[in-house]
């Protein structure tokens, strides 16, 4: 299968997803370690539902975009990045991401999210990206802060995480003006 990439660095590429990618994404989502800090962690991820998600993604590209993360030079999907609630009138979007546990701690997610930021700001002309992270998810805090996201708020004891109890949910935001020079705009 030939891949179409929207962006690449020397380390990773963001690929337009194909229907054939759904089983690999499903396998990652059913890994308890990958899933535990995702907003959809309570959902049972049936493979058939993931195919339905893919079909809706293709039909609703005005409000949601998702891209596969590939190591540069390969076609294997090892994670995904998302723009959800993409709002062109207000020029903002929620971002999300996940990566196969096998590739954690190698800077891959940071590179992939950086590519997504460039795409959102330079290609879609968005002015703001935002997301939320559960407090125990230290890896995501580091990624977002390294890429310039600022904490914008906190919901105290908001989300129940098995083994952690009720934890805070922290909101982050990033404005296009804050990163224009770094992104080469």
Instruction: Judge contact between 120 and 6, C-beta under 8 A.
Output: no
User: Could you give the CA distance from residue 99 to residue 69 in angstroms, rounded to a whole number?
Assistant: 8
Q: Which pLDDT value is given to residue 166?
A: 95
CA distances from 97 to 110, 180, 181 (A): 10, 22, 24
Region 29-53: mean pLDDT is: 80
Strands 165-175 and 150-161, how do they pair? Answer: antiparallel
Strands 5-8 and 12-16, how do they pair? Answer: antiparallel
First to last CA, the chain: 33
What secondary structure letter does DSSP report for 60?
T
150-185 pLDDT, tens digit per residue, is 999 999 999 888 888 999 999 999 999 877 666 554
SS3 157: strand
Instruction: Judge contact between 172 and 131, C-beta under 8 A.
Output: yes
Provide the b/e sequence for 5-43 (b: ≥16 CB within 10 Å): bebeeebbbbbebeeebbebbbebbeeeebbebbeebee
CA distances from 5 to 70, 114, 115, 152 (A): 9, 15, 11, 32
83-128 pLDDT, tens digit per residue, is 999 999 999 999 999 999 999 999 999 999 999 999 999 999 999 9
């Amino acid at each position: 299968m030939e891949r179409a990439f929207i962006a690449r660095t020397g380390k990773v590429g963001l690929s337009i997803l194909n229907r054939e990618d759904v089983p690999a994404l499903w396998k990652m989502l059913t890994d308890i370690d990958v899933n535990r800090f995702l907003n959809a962690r309570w959902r049972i991820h049936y493979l058939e539902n993931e195919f339905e998600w893919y079909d809706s993604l293709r039909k609703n590209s005005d409000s949601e975009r998702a891209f596969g993360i590939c190591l540069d030079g390969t076609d294997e999907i090892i994670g995904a990045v998302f723009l959800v609630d993409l709002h062109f009138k207000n020029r903002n979007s929620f971002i999300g991401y996940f990566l196969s546990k096998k590739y954690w701690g190698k800077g891959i997610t940071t590179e992939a999210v950086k590519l997504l930021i460039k795409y959102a700001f330079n290609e879609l002309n968005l002015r703001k990206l935002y997301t939320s992270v559960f407090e125990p998810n230290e890896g995501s805090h580091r990624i977002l802060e390294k890429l310039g996201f600022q904490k914008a708020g906190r919901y105290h004891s908001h989300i129940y995480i098995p083994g952690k109890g009720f934890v805070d949910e922290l909101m982050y935001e990033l404005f296009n003006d804050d990163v224009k020079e770094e992104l080469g705009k």
